[in-house]
Structure formats: C-alpha cells, structure tokens
Amino acid sequence: MALLRFDPGVDFWLLLAVPAIPLLGFVVNVFLGRGLPRKGDWLLTGGMFVSMAITVWLGAKAVSAAFAGETFFHRSAEHGISFSWLYQSGKEAGSPLNLTTGILYDGLSAAMLAVVGIVSFFVHLFSIGYMHGDRRYHVFFANISLFTFAMLGLVLSDNILFFFVFWELMGLMSYLLIGHFGQDPGSPRLLQASAACKKAFLTTRVGDTALFVGMMIFYWKFQTFEFTELWRLAQEEVARNAGEHPAWMTAAGLLVFGGTVGKSAQFPLHIWLPDAMEGPTPVSAMIHAATMVAAGVFLLGRTYPLMSPEVLAVVTVVGTLTALFAATIGTTVFDIKGVLAYSTISQLGFMVAACGLGGVVFGMFHMVTHAFFKACLFLCAGSVIHGCHHEQDMRRMGGLRKFMPVTFLCMLASTLAIAGIPLCSGFYSKDKIIQSAFERGLTQFDGVSFFAAAALPLAALLTAFYMFRLIFMTFFGEYRGGHAGHGRGHHDEHDGHGHHEEHAHTPHESPWPMTAALCGLALLGILGGHFWLSTPTDPLAGHTSPWFLRLVSLESMYGGRVAALPATEHVTHLAHSLALWVSLGVAFGGIAIAYVLYQRKLVDPARIARNLGEVYHTVANKYYVDELVDRVVVRPTLALARLQKWIDENLVDGIVNGAGHLNRGVGFLSAWFDLKVVDGAVNGTASLTQTLGALARLVQTGRVQQYISFAVAGGLALAAWLILS
C-alpha cells in the first residue's frame, strides 16, 4: 500500500491544486467565457472533474491510513509549506505579529473535501443542461466555480482567520448566485431574486459578525489563529482553571456558534434559506449540500474542543429546536423546492444537535451523507421543474413517474436515504444522532437531553412524512398540470433555461448531463452510508469498526491534541438498541402516514388542516418568524434610517446650508465693498483725471492759426514783460 501513503512532498501541492483549479476556471471564464466555445462550461466542468479526482484520490489515501491504524493528520506548516500573509515586527513584548496560513488535512477535511469535489462536479454537470440558454451562462459557471473554490479553501484552512476569509467569500458568492436572476432584466422573478439575495447576505452577516468577534476574543487570549494551537491552548486553559471552562470561553464559544447559526440556517437566523430558493436550482443544491450551510457545521467540528458544556447545551437546544420546527413547517409547504429547503434546515438542526450532544463525529457523518442525498434531491427537483416547464407547485404536478422515470428513481432513492430507511446512508447517520440523544438522556437526566431525546425522533418522523408527501404528490396519481399549468400567475417560475422550442404541455425527461448527475449522486446517497459504515471484511458488524468513524474519530480528528472531550462515541447497549428501534419506527411510521394521507387518501389532509385551525395557520406561515423579524429588526432599522435621513436632511443639511448662506452673505458684503469703495476710488481717480483733461483740452482747438496766435501773443507778452521790467 505504498502507493496509498500520504506523501507530503507531492500531495500538499496536489491539495493546493484542488482549490486552485476552480479559481483559475473562474478567472478564465469571467473574462473570456463569452468568447469561448459553449461559453466555457466544458472548461470548468472538466477542471472540476480533475479537482474531484484529486480529492477522491487523496481521500482514498486517508481511508487507507485510517485502516492501517494510523492517525491521519497532516499540517503543511510542519513540512515548510506555509504562506506568510502578514508580518509585523516590533509589537510590544517582543513577539512579532506573524499571520501565516497553510493546509490542514485530516480525516474530516479529507471527507469534506471529497464531498465538496464530488457534489460540485455533479452540480457543474447538471448546470450544463439546466442553465442552457441563460443570458449570463458563462457568469453563472464562473460564479459557481468560485463558490466551490471558497468552500475548498475553507475546508483546507489550518487557521480560523483564513477559514473566516473563505467563509466571507462564500457569503458573497451566495449573494451573487441566489441573485443570479436578479441581474437579468428579462427575468420575471427579478425583484424576488434580488430581495432574496440581499436577505441571505444580510442575515448570514449577523452570524458572521458574531463569529468574527468570537474569533477575535480567542485571538486576544491565545495570540493565535491556528486550529491546532487553539485546541491545545484551550485544553491548557481548562486544566489551569481546575477543569472548568472560564466564562470568557463560554461567551466566545457562543459567538463562534453564532457564525454557525447564521451560515447553517439555525433558528432564528434560518429565514434566509427558504428565500434562497429564488436562486437557480443547481445553486440551491450547491448551497444546501456541499457549500455554505455545510460550512457552519464544519466550523462546529473544527472548534468543538473550544466549546464549554454551557455552549454545547445551547448548541443542542438550538439544533433540536431547529430540527423540529423546520420539520413541522416542511409538512405544510406546497412548493417542491420549499419542502426541500425546510428539510435542509431540519437536517442541519440534526447535525448541530449532534455536535451539542457530544456526537460531533456523527454530526460530521450526517453532514457528509446529507450532502449527497440532498444534492441529489435538489437536482431532481430541478429536473422536475425543468420537465414541468417551470412549475414549482406540487399541487399542479403528480404522475410524473411515467414521464420522468430516471428522475423518479433517483429522487426516490434519495428520499429513502433522507427518511432513514435501513441500508441507505441517512439511516446510519440519523440513527447515530438519535442514539447520542438517548445516551445523554439515559446518563445525564437533564432537561436539555430529554428535550433532544424527545424532539429529534419526532423531527425524524416528520422528515419521513413530508418527504414521502412530496414523492406521492409529485410522482404518483394523475398529472394535474395540464394546459393551464404553464405560464400562470405567480407560479410561473423562470428558472434559468430560457426557451422551449417545442413547448409541449406534457412533462418530459431532462437531457443527459442532468440525468447523469442525478444517477451519480443517487448512487452515492444510497450507498454512501453503507459503504463507509461497514468494514470491508465484516459488513454485518457495522457498528464495531465503521469506515467513516475510523477516518473521522475523536482521537484522530484533532490530531491527538485534545485529551478528553465530552463524547458519546461509545454508547451503552440500551441506548443503541433503543435508538435503532426508534429510528426504524419513525422512518416507517412517517412513510405510512404519508401513504395513508396522500396516496390512499383515506383522510383528507385539508380536513386535518381545517380542524387544526389556528395551529395549522401558524405553522403554514412559518411560525410568523419572518413577520417577527420584520417587526423587531427590519422596521425599526428602517425607522432608524428614516430618522437619520430626517436628521441628515434637516439638521446636518441645515448646518451645511446655513454655513453656505453665511458665506454667501459675507460674499455679498465683500462684493459690495469692492464694487462701491474700491472701484469707486479707482473710478473716481480716473474721472477726475478725465475732467482735468477735458478742461485742458479746451485750448487745444486743433487750429494751427490759433496756436500761432497764442504763441505770438505769448511772445509779445514775454517781450513786454522783459522790456517793462
């Protein structure tokens, strides 16, 4: 297995190439894309394929190292590959400010990198079909490549500062991509798209600010941004403090978790994510699976050793609340992408709750499995929307199984995975999370654990229910779209590809790049968990030595730098078997309810909704969180802005204009003095001279004879005076 050994001399450069290729692709396509054949999509998709191949190849090395029993943990700085970003000597106390960045490649980043590479490649492939004919096709590809670059860079960063830089770049890219149609003057969803991208940007910005402050508190205390140093110093700090986390670490940890709340759409900052559906569907797949929301969970994984028990309790509560709350909303939504959006929020809640419950490894595992099946679900939804001529309302779909068999099979596979059916990836990861909750509940007997143990299975039940509701409404029954379905009112979604020559009013299967991407992701979604969880030698002993848990385990995750962590990796037998039965029960229970309500139609869902009355309205209106935020944050902000505008217009402008008027008055005075006094003196002198001149001119008649007469008279007078005197 010498070939599969990580070689720092070569492989770090390969790792650098992974984000560099999409970045290069972005640069080429954004400047030259318009002129390239096919607007450069082949270039970026091909480049992404190379990146994906490298990530998979290096991921295989990580797996083989994990099986050889080694701790797979590589820092490029230890091999002299690091980039000095900022150096400033002469700080006080003699220690120079030296900010460097390098690559941190451990089991977690190996897994995440491969996920990002694979999902991003499939999204590129899918976009070739889906975005065909878009006005800004080459810009779309450039942006999605830069988005991938940001996520790859974030995964590889060995310090939280550069992590944050890529994190912010991702915020920008999500803004640009969600607002893709907001830049197109011909798009019917122009206003919605530009509002959605602003909302996403500003809402995540709240979390980003918290993360930045938390990060700076850690830097202020520890004088470092490096993850490995932070982990080590945090351990030392706790040991110095008699095993307790100091209060400042709790505060800073909460602020860092604020970043996750924003980016991973946790309550109450989840509001941007459903609106982000205005973006093209491949972008939604990208945001929901590989990039953006995964970054928040990844941050939790990276900073887990810094979190105090109090922070973890908050993390648990927020995650559990989000999981349950988004799942209930998911049951009332009729927009096919909306259902998926709320399911993403709910699944992210699962991941975050897992981290809070100590099952950080399971949280990471769910992030990986979720990435595949959620990317597949979104791309399938995109394919459905594409096939139904931009119809997104599930009430106008149905029976699509016959028209789009490939999409149907892929979507069904991914839905089985997300619902947690055994042998699909989602079952394994979700089972582990519920198991963590039970373990905590059985051992600790505190409110947080009981809440998680009660709410997470319920959320899982609802997940299975609303996902199969989607399947039954979309693919089974009779097609309800028909002729009226297309081009109607606000449901006329314009999602990218501009023109249909044929304009047939029956749904159709999507072109091959789209279905190929679907099949690839569906396979990974089905097999992913199974594949990674079981050992190659003994597939039945899945829970004893799973692949993924070998690759990403608490021992290897922090490179052996973290001694003791609150963890629930080794569970009691009771919690394990209980969790197994409960997750099986909720998965099949949810499907059964959906079957009864939406396939057999034994009970009319609308009647249930009517009977629930106000409760249903509250859930269907997303618990009025948007309205609350509008009242509490948006309107006061706007009012404050208006007040400031008023102050600006009346007070500040008054002062400025007053100064102007004063100056003008002084100017008038000065001009008057100049005109009257100064000019008067000058003109007076001139007119005096003129008057005197006019007097003198009187004798100048111009008559020669007169002059001579004067001369003679003068001469005579002179002579007379001479003679007489």
Partner 1 sequence: MGVGAYVAVSAALFGIGLVAIVARRNVLYVLMGIEMILNAANINFVAFARHAGNRLDGQMFAIFVIILAAAEAAVALAIVLNVFHLFHSVKPEGVDRLRE
CA 163 → CA 53, 350, 362, 514, distances in Å? 23, 23, 22, 32
Asked if residue 596 lies in contact with residue 467, where contact means CB atoms within 8 angstroms, the answer is no
CA 480 → CA 377, 419, 484, 600, distances in Å? 21, 26, 9, 17
Does residue 696 bind partner 1 (CB under 8 A)?
no
CA angle 175, 179, 181 (to 5 degrees): 160
Identity of the residue, 89 or 705, whose beta carbon is nearer to partner 1 in the bound complex? 705
At closest approach, how far in Å is the CB of 682 from partner 1?
26
Site for partner 1 in 443-462 (CB under 8 A): none
Phi, psi for 417 (deg, rounded to 5): -65, -45
Does residue 708 bind partner 1 (CB under 8 A)?
yes
Kindly report whether the peptide bond that precedes residue 268 is cis, defined as omega within 30 degrees of 0.
Answer: yes
Q: Interface with partner 1 by CB under 8 A: which range of 445-453, 502-510, 566-574, 694-702? A: 694-702
Identity of the residue, 191 or 719, whose beta carbon is nearer to partner 1 in the bound complex? 719
At position 165, the amino acid (one-letter code) is V
At closest approach, how far in Å is the CB of 708 from partner 1?
6
Identity of the residue, 17 or 692, whose beta carbon is nearer to partner 1 in the bound complex? 692
Alpha-carbon distance of 295 to 279, in angstroms, equals 19
Identity of the residue, 10 or 698, whose beta carbon is nearer to partner 1 in the bound complex? 698
Q: Interface with partner 1 by CB under 8 A: which range of 488-496, 536-544, 633-641, 704-712? A: 704-712
CA 186 → CA 137, 261, 473, 524, 663, distances in Å? 14, 35, 32, 37, 50
Identity of the residue, 537 or 700, whose beta carbon is nearer to partner 1 in the bound complex? 700
At closest approach, how far in Å is the CB of 703 from partner 1?
5
At closest approach, how far in Å is the CB of 707 from partner 1?
8
Identity of the residue, 600 or 703, whose beta carbon is nearer to partner 1 in the bound complex? 703
Instruction: Calculate Rg over the CA atoms of the chain.
Output: 37
Exactly one of 501, 697, 723, 724 binds partner 1 (CB under 8 A); that residue is 697
Identity of the residue, 490 or 697, whose beta carbon is nearer to partner 1 in the bound complex? 697
At closest approach, how far in Å is the CB of 673 from partner 1?
38
Q: Residue 431: exposed, middle, or buried by beta-carbon count in 10 A (0-12, 13-18, 19+)? A: buried
At closest approach, how far in Å is the CB of 710 from partner 1?
10
Does residue 600 bind partner 1 (CB under 8 A)?
no
Within 595-703, residue ranges assigned H as helices are 605-612, 614-620, 625-629, 635-646, 653-673, 679-697
At closest approach, how far in Å is the CB of 699 from partner 1?
10
Does residue 712 bind partner 1 (CB under 8 A)?
yes
Asked if residue 30 lies in contact with residue 109, where contact means CB atoms within 8 angstroms, the answer is no
* Binding track over 645-684 against partner 1, x by CB under 8 A: ----------------------------------------
Identity of the residue, 10 or 704, whose beta carbon is nearer to partner 1 in the bound complex? 704
CB hemisphere CA count around 401 (13 angstroms): 11
Q: Interface with partner 1 by CB under 8 A: which range of 12-20, 152-160, 211-219, 705-713? A: 705-713
Identity of the residue, 540 or 704, whose beta carbon is nearer to partner 1 in the bound complex? 704
Per-residue HEC secondary structure of 610-632 comes to HHHCHHHHHHHCHHHHHHHHHHH
At closest approach, how far in Å is the CB of 721 from partner 1?
20
Exactly one of 69, 703, 723, 725 binds partner 1 (CB under 8 A); that residue is 703
Exactly one of 601, 709, 717, 720 binds partner 1 (CB under 8 A); that residue is 709
At closest approach, how far in Å is the CB of 720 from partner 1?
16
At closest approach, how far in Å is the CB of 701 from partner 1?
6
CA angle 479, 481, 484 (to 5 degrees): 145
Does residue 705 bind partner 1 (CB under 8 A)?
yes
Long-range contacts of 214-223 (CB under 8 A, 24+ apart): 214/251, 214/252, 214/253, 214/254, 214/255, 214/256, 214/257, 214/258, 214/259, 215/160, 215/161, 215/164, 215/256, 217/248, 217/251, 217/252, 217/255, 218/160, 218/252, 218/256, 218/306, 221/248, 221/252, 223/95
Exactly one of 696, 704, 722, 724 binds partner 1 (CB under 8 A); that residue is 704
Identity of the residue, 69 or 693, whose beta carbon is nearer to partner 1 in the bound complex? 693
Q: Total number of residues binding partner 1 (CB under 8 A)? A: 10
- Paired tokens of 80: 């002299």
Where do contacts with partner 1 occur on this chain (CB under 8 A)?
697, 700-705, 708-709, 712
